[in-house]
Amino acid sequence: MNGEVRERPAASGWSYIAGEKGRNRVRVFERDGRPGVWMDYRDENGKRIRQPLGHSDRAKAKLAADDVAAKFGRHERAPVAAITLRSCLTTYEREVTPQKSRTAQAHDRRTFPLFLRAFGAGRRLSSLNRRDWDSYIQRRRRGELAVGGREGRAVRTRVLEQDCNLLNAVLNWAVRAGDGTGGYLLERNPLAGLAVPREESPRRPILTREQYQAVRKAAESMSPRLLLFVTLAWYTGHRSKSIRLLRWSDVDLEAARIHWRGENDKIDYDHWNPLHAEAVAALKGERSRTGAIGDAWIFPSPRSKDASGAWSEHAVVNLWKRIAARADLPPRERYGWHSFRRAFANTLRDVALRDLKDLGGWKSTRTVVQVYQQPSEDAQRRGLAALDSLAAAERAPRTGTTRG
């Protein structure tokens, strides 16, 4: 049995590989920052297994890897397909891309031609390496690789992050996807673990209450329906897409509840939330003004004569630009409808994270903390003040009957 010890930098940890790639490959390794040795392999059905061995003995782990490789070496498995980049991207775009949001779909179709230009359409997936990764990042950063008509223009780090995450997503999918003959498109992601460019301090402006009042006044001067949109954005914290695609059947004004349909949500999260009194009052006023009921759009498109369509994404973006100009918001600071969502997360920071996540329709509490909420000295001072209250309660004399 052929095996090799692969010594890696301390940050990556030790690993040992037994068997043959695409046939009976077994890897045992130490995970950075975690005790014990782990094993990674595919069973006779092709299912990937990754599990802890329950000990830290490297010699014992190597013997276990050799044993498992020998076991599967007796069973011939279909080899991993020598798939090309073009073939993989074509299959991914056909099977996976349609399941994503419109924005993500557009990013896929805009970025795949860049991958083909950078690496070559006939390039085997398994041959991609660190030099390809670094070269792509450098060429994109310099503007050599760009969407049509934008050559020579450098891109933001955020764009590079999205491109690299997409490439990793494609390769990780290929590791799990079958090739139709019992094999897999890719044995492992050859770019796994490489550093993804990230913006150190991305600009994520938060709308203040004073700015909200200015925006509200501007919207009111434009139309009652736009004022309702602004009110819902402030008091629900939801994405503009979810708001513009609301129907009257989605709101229960008597119970002060609102239904956010999964089909209209970025993360397909179908849920109900309670409504703030201001939002209820605004919705009642709009219903009284329009007389709309049932599945009618709350924000019908003015270009749709039979009210069969809701406001478009383009219309909502343009409306924001007009509002921001009237409200004198700082230009070029990337204020937008999402600044309402950030304000919601920070204003309600004292709400339990589990409930805040559902109120705003976030995928996880981790997203709320890492992306939306910002440090607040006032909140930290309130937390420190709670220590005084606790100490005072401990010092207070206890009352009650003492047994003699």
User: Percent of the chain beyond pLDDT 70?
Assistant: 88
The reply to whether 215 and 119 lie within a common domain is no
14 with 7: CB under 8 angstroms? yes
The reply to whether 363 and 234 lie within a common domain is yes
Residue 325 included in any domain: yes
Domain count, the chain: 3
The reply to whether 229 and 320 lie within a common domain is yes
Residue 26 included in any domain: yes
Residue 404 included in any domain: no
Is the C-alpha dihedral spanning 35, 41, 45, 47 positive or negative? Answer: positive
Residue 5 has pLDDT above 50, yes or no: no
Longest Cα separation, the chain? 91
Residue 199 included in any domain: no
Last residue in a domain, options 129, 155, 176: 176
The whole domain housing 116 covers: 85-176
Give the model's confidence band at 71: pLDDT under 50 very low, under 70 low, under 90 confident, else very high.
Answer: confident
CA separation, residue 79 to residues 7, 22, 28, 32, 181 (Å): 27, 5, 21, 30, 9
CA separation, residue 354 to residues 108, 235, 358, 360 (Å): 32, 18, 7, 10
The reply to whether 145 and 245 lie within a common domain is no
Average pLDDT over the chain, rounded to an integer: 86
Q: How far apart are CA 274 and CA 255, in angstroms?
A: 8
The reply to whether 17 and 125 lie within a common domain is no
User: Percent of the chain beyond pLDDT 90?
Assistant: 52
Q: Residue 10: what pLDDT?
A: 43
Provide the 3-class DSSP secondary structure of residue 115. helix
Q: Residue 213: what pLDDT?
A: 97
The reply to whether 148 and 21 lie within a common domain is no
Residue 234 has pLDDT above 90, yes or no: yes
Provide the 3-class DSSP secondary structure of residue 359. helix
Residue 395 has pLDDT above 80, yes or no: no
Residue 182 included in any domain: no
Residue 307 included in any domain: yes
The reply to whether 8 and 93 lie within a common domain is no
Give the model's confidence band at 400: pLDDT under 50 very low, under 70 low, under 90 confident, else very high.
Answer: low
Residue 402 has pLDDT above 90, yes or no: no
* Mean pLDDT, rounded, for 300-316: 81
CA separation, residue 160 to residues 19, 92, 324 (Å): 37, 20, 29
- Judge if pTM exceeds 0.85: no
